[in-house]
Amino acid sequence: MLSKSHIFRNPHPGIAVLLVLITFIGTGILNFFRSSVIPEFNFDFWLGPICIGLASWLINVILVYRSRYLLSNYLLGWSWWCLLIALTNEPLTWKQSLLSIGVAIWLAITFELSDERKTSLRTRSNLGFVSALLGFIHPSLFSLLAPSVLSLSIGLKTEIKAVIQVSLAWLLPIVLYVFFLISSSEELPMLNNNFNIDISSRMPLIGEYIILMWGVFAIGQTLKALVNAKKPKRRGLLLSWVGIGYAIVLAFLFPGGDEYVALLAVFFGPHLVNLKDYIHPKKLRYWLTPSLIFAAIIQIMI
């Protein structure tokens, strides 16, 4: 396994401050060079780096202590940030941090579906409710209902009752929102959005090629985990793959959007942490996050 002396393996609370500081400064530097014009160092400029830095810590809080297998301390937040900067060549804003936190909450709830200590109805209701709320951030994410329902069958006994509970919880906030707007005689804001499915293609970024390469290794480690790992880890890795597949579909259907970037960064994070422990040859594990940072820098230069 990766040495516990790795800086973001250290459980000391001061490492959390260091993580926020590094991701804050790194985001500020990248945003400066990624801007099409010379930015002014005002509140609008620093808002993105501040939110990204805090999100790198909060995602650990949400996932590490909910997953029952991701004993990574602050490594998951670091991996999320490295993935995020490699998946886009645009300045990072508070929107990516908000969406990433929301997706992390969704993933944490799917982890809890198998926890006998939790009330099943409450967990399923939370899953459907959060799926709908993410749709209000990006309308395309209303389709998150599909992976939500699929998550009920991963490592669990599928029940029609569970599917109905998630679906009703997903539908309730949407109905309330529409009813409120109709009763207040206002137009539906989402109906004014240009929400068209446009299946097209673009040249992948260097960071996407590198993540694809690590994804090949992650598939191999997942297959090994299905044979040797404990049930929580097997289920956690499979849930992450469901999220990755969903994000890739969004990327193809909505190439003009950027919501898939935050989704991929959150969903691939657990696999990056897993590879740091088990990838072979062992020397490769020390190139995982540096390769993503390198990709982000090269993308700026070209």
Side chain identity, residue 128: G
pLDDT score of 192:
41
Contact present, 144 and 102 (Cβ < 8 Å): no
pLDDT tens, N- to C-terminus, the chain (302 residues): 444 556 777 777 888 899 999 999 999 999 999 998 888 889 899 999 999 999 999 998 888 766 555 556 788 899 999 999 999 999 999 999 999 999 999 999 998 887 666 668 888 999 999 999 999 888 889 999 999 999 998 877 778 998 999 999 999 988 988 887 777 655 555 544 545 555 456 678 899 999 999 999 999 988 888 888 788 788 888 999 999 999 999 988 887 778 899 999 999 988 888 888 788 888 888 899 999 999 999 998 87
* Cα 91 to Cα 85: distance, rounded to the nearest angstrom: 9
Q: Are the C-beta atoms of 97 and 49 separated by less than 8 Å?
A: no
Phi-psi region of 155 (alpha: psi -120 to 50; beta: other; left: phi over 0): left
CA dihedral sign of residues 52, 53, 54, 58: positive
Please state the pTM of the whole predicted model: 0.88
DSSP class of residue 38?
-
pLDDT of residue 1: 44
Two tokens, residue 100: 């990433």
pLDDT of amino acid 264: 95
What pLDDT, on a 0 to 100 scale, did the predictor assign at position 229? 77
Question: What are the Cα distances from residue 5, in Å, to 9, 15, 21, 71, 269?
Answer: 7, 12, 20, 14, 20
Tokens at 293, concatenated? 């940072």
Q: Is 126:172 a contact under the CB 8 Å cutoff?
A: no
**Is-cis flag, bond preceding 189, omega within 30?**
no
- pLDDT score recorded for residue 234: 84
Q: Around Cβ 15, how many Cβ atoms within 10 Å?
A: 18
